[in-house]
Amino acid sequence: MTDQQQKFLIRPARPEDAAWLEDLLMRTYEGTWMPEMTAERDRQFRASGKTAEYVRARGNLFMVCEMDGVPAGMADWENDFIWALHVHPARQGRGVGGALLAWMEAAIRDARFGRARLETDSFNQRSRRFYGKHGYAEIDTYPDEEWDSGFTTILLEKRLPA
């Protein structure tokens, strides 16, 4: 067993993870998207309840990465598309995101898909560097409809070995 395997445990999310997942999603929103939003758009997002709704709707499909026995990140994917990968700010830069990404890529490959796809926003340079480092190519851009903010979405893709 490698040090990385000992350090990380990737497991299905549990009902008792719901509050932690909502907190994680809000922390990453506040550190990534909120600085790019208008104050009005931020108020609208917070009032919308979208974070809690997302966790209620798909939380049973999430994978949680524990680091040293403590939840540190989450991932959500379906078929060949990675919907979300979030790492707690206090755990960023420690391999959690890479471990989750590798786990999802293996699951996607095991499901017989030849590629993994995901989206990020053009302003999110940290995300773009992370995915580029892991072999993802930016293949398309289009207006971001999720945030109603004028953002540009970037579609990324990585071919997976058979």
Core vs surface per residue 9-37: b (16+ CB within 10 A) or e: ebeebeeebbebbbebbeebbeebbeeeb
Residue 58 lies in a domain: yes
Residue 33 lies in a domain: yes
Number of structural domains, the chain? 1
Write the CATH number for 46: 3.40.630.30
Residue 124 lies in a domain: no
pLDDT of residue 6: 55
- pLDDT tens profile 77-86: 999 999 999 9
Average pLDDT over residues 127-131: 97
Average pLDDT over residues 118-123: 95
Residue 94 lies in a domain: yes
pLDDT above 90 (res 148): no
Residue 73 lies in a domain: yes
pLDDT above 70 (res 33): yes
Which domain covers residue 35, as residue numbers?
A: 3-114
pLDDT above 70 (res 13): yes
